[in-house]
Structure 1
Amino acid sequence: MPFIISKVNVPISKEQEIQLKARLGKAIELVPGKSEEYLLTGFEENYHLYLRGDDSQPIAYIKASIFGNEGHYGYDKLTMEITKIFGEILGIAPHHVYVKYDDIQGWGVNGMYFDRNQYME
């Protein structure tokens, strides 16, 4: 039950959005037990981002919220792949791609609640 939301300070065309969604869908497989089948993605374009007080360069802030992976397995590879994806599709330099990970403790979907303690690694 991963969720990846991206905030970038550049425009995203529909074609680029589809490419990002598809590539993130493959990338999430780098985290054991995760797949595009349950991946939720979101994109915020033209977001006001400043790095060191400057907004003149393309910047990305990506938050990946992942359930049931307290050991953070695959995060190193996922970070590299996310950085590559946003560089290739949106032209954002690797040193301007920031990825934050949130460990989801509980998750609700389809009227059901899932607690991480029920799904320990």
Structure 2
Amino acid sequence: MPFVIAKVNVPVSRDQEIELKSRLGKAIEAIPGLNENYLLFGIEDNCRLHLRGKDTWKIAYIEASLFGRPDHAGFGIFTAEMTAAFQDVLGISPENIYIKFDDIKTWSTNGQFIESAYR
């Protein structure tokens, strides 16, 4: 299950949150075998973020954690579509959108420990 959490320094309305969730749900399809049904998404708005010594820029810091994807297939398209979503919905310039990917080797859900075959 991919988990995407975003920290932005702008307010986010419920409608904007739903639009981002939907756009990321579509974007995750770039990664083989995934769709919105697997996506866990969260957003923290009005964060105090500073970039280039200023807090006046609109900024997004996004972490995308994905389990068992060491080949990173589809990550380039996923990145481009996430960037476009935050630009279109929140007006954040691509140069101020930073995305960190975490390769998850172990995961737990529903009381079950899951380990990736990839090491």
Fold equivalence (TM over 0.5): yes
Identity %: 53
2:99 partner SS: strand
Cα offset, 1:116, TM superposition = 0.7
2:70 partner letter: E
The equivalent residue for 1:92 is: 92
Instruction: Name the amino acid aligned to 1:43.
Output: I
Residue 115 of structure 2 corresponds to 115
Give the structure 1 partner of residue 37 of structure 2: 37
Post-superposition Cα deviations, 1:20-60, rounded to whole Å, max 9, x if no partner, equal 11111111111111111111000000111111111101000
Structure 2, gaps ≥5 residues long: none
In the TM superposition, what are the counterparts of 1:1-121 in structure 2 within 5 Å?
1-117=1-117, 120=118
Query: Deviation digits for residues 73-94 of structure 1, max 9, x if unmatched?
Result: 1111111101100000000001
RMSD of aligned C-alpha atoms?
Answer: 0.8
Aligned partners of 1:98, 1:73: CA distance in 2, in Å?
A: 19
Counterpart residue identity of residue 10, structure 1: V
Moved over 4 A (4+): none
Q: Tell me how far apart the structure 1 counterparts of residues 51 and 34 of structure 2 sit (CA, whole Å).
A: 31
CA distance in 1, matches of 2:56, 2:37: 36
> Normalised by the size of structure 1, how large is the TM-score?
0.94
SS at structure 2 position matched to 1:43: strand
